[in-house]
Amino acid sequence: MPPDLARINAYIDAHRDRFVEELRTLVRQPSISSQNYGVKECGELIRKMMEEVGIEASVLPTNGQPVVFGRLASPKAVKTLLIYNHYDVQPVEPLDAWEHPPFEATMVGERIVGRGSTDSKGNLLCHLKAVEAFLKTDQEVPVNLKFLFDGEEEIGSPSLPDFVEKHRDSLAADGSLSFDGGFDASGQPRIQLGSSGLLYIEIRARGPKRDLHSARARLVENPAWKLVWALQSMKGRDERILIDHFYDDILPPTEEELKLLEDSGWDDRAHLEEYGVDRFLLGLTGIAASERLLFQPTCNISGFKAGHLGEGMKTIVPAEALVKVDFRLVHRQNPLDILEKVKRHLAKHGFSDLEVHCLGYIEPSRTPFRSRIAQALISAARENYRTEPVIKPTGEASGRQGPWLASRLGIEGAASGVGPPKWRGHAPNEFITTGHFIDGIKYAANVWSKYAQS
Ligand SMILES: [Zn+2]
């Protein structure tokens, strides 16, 4: 028998004020992972909040900040859903730009202002309060639930791959789901079925033992030129990446995914304005531009350092040159495989003496539009918010959230977010509204129900 969502929603409405107070308590506990400020205390607070609603929870160590792991078994449920969320937050600087202190959760009308209110404590708490609503109305949660709450998302979740490998058995599930961030800027709920991957490397060229008088450039190889030539061998002026087999594993978008792009309401002018440019690469416009943004990999120079960059003239052959290159990768490119291809490319083109170091990577992911988890999110979003959601077949940015976890575990995964549009992510005066938070609890409950029925 499907759950009685009307009773669940009535319970959520009846306990609205207390739920808002609990979110304020959570926002008041700082948890800045990049500054190691309050993260462990926040993990403990969440474990306690999970136990209070009846979830079996523990704080598990990783190589960095702990993961809060939990599970809730429902004897009659057939499917298991793994919920990803994160409890760490971004730093608060510049502090004087906040109209209210970032960790006081000040109420301003309907707004709860505070760091982490939307990203992602408001989102996280929706799941816990949805569990409470099921159990307190004497109903079984329609799916078995597992919870993985990450304490390092805002620094790229560096410990998560190891954690997942180590706990593969306890994480076993049919699908994964993450809530983070808020509605699309258009005011519609947003559903994302994947994320981009990333490979970040630095390449160092060494020249003479020390900087030399540039008159010696007649006899001594300049490492900056060497890097320029190496870079030039990697990408053509037509933007095609020239590394052998670089594009081999890419899965092009399906008809359905292209249709999603058409329906996405892509607006050239708004994006040009946001980027501060007057044209896109290759003169692309419309759907072609949005397709390239989501489905094509990049080879991007993030930084280049060599020789004299101070004021005025200084004539030298620099002793070394350094470039930082990032590749945005798409489904199903493997970052470590791409790293090997880059090294082989450099060796093949006579640059085997360049030093290549990998500084970090994230695997890309993409879950089909027809997957159960995507369909559950879409129908719950339509019902709860009475509007069409914006569906992104994958994400332009990279992260280790629900879709990433899914591809790591070989299951399907999707992401959504309950916060308001323009919630000031990573910026001063971040907020959530009480309405978005309360609606998000109802949305979580409905997503689980729809997923159970799928
Ligand atoms: Zn964030």
Amino acid letter for position 131: V
| Listed residue (280, 299, 302) closest to 232, CA to CA | 299
Confidence of residue 186 (pLDDT cuts 50, 70, 90): confident
Beta strand segments in 333-382, E: 355-362, 365-366
Can you tell me the mean pLDDT for 330-341?
Answer: 97
CA of 89 to the centre of ligand 1 (A): 7
Residue whose pair of structure tokens reads 């590749």 in the numeric block: 327
Domains delineated in the chain: 5-195+365-453 (3.40.630.10), 197-250+297-362 (3.30.70.360), 254-295 (no CATH)
Rg of the chain's alpha carbons, rounded to an integer?
Answer: 24
pLDDT number for residue 269:
96
The whole-chain average pLDDT of the chain stands at 96
Amino acid letter for position 29: Q
> Does pLDDT of 2 surpass 90?
no
CA of 107 to the centre of ligand 1 (A): 21
CA of 148 to the centre of ligand 1 (A): 16
Q: How far is CA 243 from CA 223, 340, 345, 346, 349, in A?
A: 21, 10, 6, 9, 10
> Does pLDDT of 314 surpass 90?
yes
pLDDT number for residue 320:
98
CA of 270 to the centre of ligand 1 (A): 23
Can you tell me the mean pLDDT for 112-132?
Answer: 98
As a whole number of angstroms, the distance between CA 116 and CA 349 comes to 48
CA of 116 to the centre of ligand 1 (A): 8
CA of 205 to the centre of ligand 1 (A): 35
Neighbours of ion ligand 1 (CB under 5 A): 119
Summarised one tens digit per residue, pLDDT across range 208-250 is: 999 999 999 999 999 999 999 999 999 999 999 999 999 999 9
Summarised one tens digit per residue, pLDDT across range 240-288 is: 999 999 999 999 999 999 999 998 889 999 999 988 999 999 999 999 9
Q: How far is CA 144 from CA 52, 81, 174, 229, 449, in A?
A: 18, 6, 10, 55, 11
**Percent of the chain whose predicted confidence (pLDDT) is above 70:** 100
Can you tell me the mean pLDDT for 197-206?
Answer: 97
Helix (H, G, I), strand (E, B) or coil at 403: helix
For residues 265 and 298, is the Cβ–Cβ distance under 8 A? no
CA of 218 to the centre of ligand 1 (A): 51
CA of 149 to the centre of ligand 1 (A): 14
Summarised one tens digit per residue, pLDDT across range 11-35 is: 999 999 999 999 999 999 999 999 9
CA of 426 to the centre of ligand 1 (A): 6
- Both tokens of 374, joined, read 């995507």
Can you tell me the mean pLDDT for 295-305?
Answer: 97
| Listed residue (37, 124, 129, 40) closest to 86, CA to CA | 124
Whether the bond into 74 is cis, omega within 30 of 0: no
As a whole number of angstroms, the distance between CA 144 and CA 410 comes to 18
CA of 59 to the centre of ligand 1 (A): 21
Quickly count: other Cβ atoms within 10 Å of residue 18's Cβ: 10
pLDDT number for residue 1:
77
As a whole number of angstroms, the distance between CA 202 and CA 326 comes to 9
Amino acid letter for position 243: I
pLDDT number for residue 397:
87
Summarised one tens digit per residue, pLDDT across range 355-377 is: 999 999 999 999 999 999 999 99
CA of 427 to the centre of ligand 1 (A): 10
Q: Edge-to-edge strands of the sheet including 320-329?
A: 300-306, 320-329, 197-206, 355-362
pLDDT number for residue 31:
98
